[in-house]
Amino acid sequence: MPDEVRWRDADRGRSVLMRPGLVGELPTALEQEGWARFELLSTERALRDAPGLAEAARATHLVPLGQIPETSAAIMDAVGSDSLVAFGGGRVIDTAKAVAAVRGGRVAAAPTTLSGAEMTAIHRLPAGYEGITGIRPELVLADPGAMTSAPEDQLRATAMNALAHGADSLYTPLADGLSRRSALKGAGLIATSLDAAPGGRSARDLALGALLAADAIDRAGLALHHVLSQTSVRVFETPHAETNAALLPIVMEEMSGRAPEQIGALAEALRTDSGGIRERIEELAGGRRGLGNLGADRGRIGQAIEVAMARGELSGMTPGEPIQAADLERLIEAAW
C-alpha cells in the first residue's frame, strides 16, 4: 500500500491526509489545505517535534493537565480565532474540539498518539455548556511516526484504546456495513502491527488501524466498554489508555455472549476465535493489566457502578439483557 493515504468523508465533513514525516511539514501542509491563519493548541513537549509550527500560528495556547471540562474552560477566553489547530494527544485535540464547539469554529488535528480523538465528534464540554453538540475536526494530518512514538508498553496500551473504538462500535444499533468494515479492518491492522517485533513493525498500519477504528466509533457510537472505561478513568483516576487495556479483554469476553456474531467477526480479525478473545487481547496488550495495579481505589467501586448505571448507553447501545449493577461489579472485579 502507498505511504500516503488520503480520503474525504463528505458525510462527515472531514478530510484525512496520512504521510510519514508530516509533523516536520505541518506549516506547509496546513497552508496547502487552506489553513494559513490559525491559533494553535499544543503542549511544550509536542512542539519540540514540530519545527516552525508555533511560529506559523497567530497565537499558541498550551493545554494544561486535567479533564476536558477544566482544560477547555482554562483557555477558552484566551482563544481569539475560529480556526484552531490541535497538535498533540487526545487531551489537546478534545480541548480544541470543546472550545470550537462552544465558541463556534473549526478544528484541524495533527495527532501524536493513537487516541482517535482526531476522527470523532465525541468529547466533553466545559461546565454550563453540556447541551452543545460536539464537533469533529474538519482536517486530520496524521504522521504515523508521531502517532506511534510512545515507549512499547505505553504504545500497546494506547493501541488497546484504539482497538476498543472499533470493538465497542460493532454491536450498537447505529452500526452499519461501513462502520463495521472500518472497525474490522482497523482491528486487523492493529493486531498485525503489534504481532511484529518493534523494530519490524509497520507504523503506517498501526496508525491507519487506529484511524479506521476511530472512524467506526464516530459513526456507530459507544456502548458497554466505553461506559465502563470512561467512568473508571473519572472515578478511579486511572490513566486512560491503561484503563482501556485492563477492561477490554474482560468486556469483549462478556460481549461474546451478547453479540456473538459481531464478536466472532472481531475474533477472526484478531486471528483467534470467540473463546480465545480475552487471551488474545491480553497478548496484544503486552500482558494482563489490572485496575488495582493502576492505582484504583477498591473503595470507589460502588461509586463507579452508580455513575456508569446512569449512562444511557448501557441500555440504549449495548445488546442483550439490560445491564445490572451486579454485572458491572463482576466486570470490574474481573479486571482488578
Residue 315 pLDDT: 84
Side chain identity at residue 190, one-letter code = I
For the chain, give every domain's residue range: 5-147, 152-334
Minimal CA–CA distance to 63: which of 36, 81, 45, 48? 45
Instruction: Give pTM, 2 decimals.
Output: 0.95
Domains 5-147 and 152-334 equal at CATH topology level: no
For domain 5-147, is the CATH number 3.40.50.880?
no
Collapsing DSSP states into helix, strand and coil, what is residue 206?
Answer: helix
Helix (H) or strand (E) holding 94: helix 90-103
Residue 74 pLDDT: 96
Q: Are 7 and 16 in contact (CB under 8 A)?
A: yes
Residue 2 pLDDT: 61
- Cell numbers of 26, please? 505541518
Cα separation, 73 vs 124, in Å, equals: 11
Minimal CA–CA distance to 156: which of 249, 30, 265? 249
Cα separation, 33 vs 35, in Å, equals: 6
Residue 312 pLDDT: 87
Superfamily of chain region 152-334: Dehydroquinate synthase-like - alpha domain (1.20.1090.10)
Per-residue pLDDT of the chain (336 residues; tens, 9 = 90+): 568 899 998 888 899 999 999 999 999 999 999 999 999 999 999 999 998 999 999 999 999 999 999 999 999 999 999 999 999 999 999 999 999 999 999 999 999 999 999 999 999 999 999 889 999 999 999 999 999 999 999 999 999 999 999 999 999 999 999 999 999 999 999 999 999 999 999 999 999 999 999 999 999 999 999 999 999 999 999 999 999 999 999 999 999 999 999 999 999 999 999 999 999 999 999 999 999 999 999 999 999 999 999 998 888 999 999 999 999 999 999 999
Residue 166 pLDDT: 98
Q: Are 206 and 194 in contact (CB under 8 A)?
A: yes
Cα separation, 76 vs 38, in Å, equals: 15
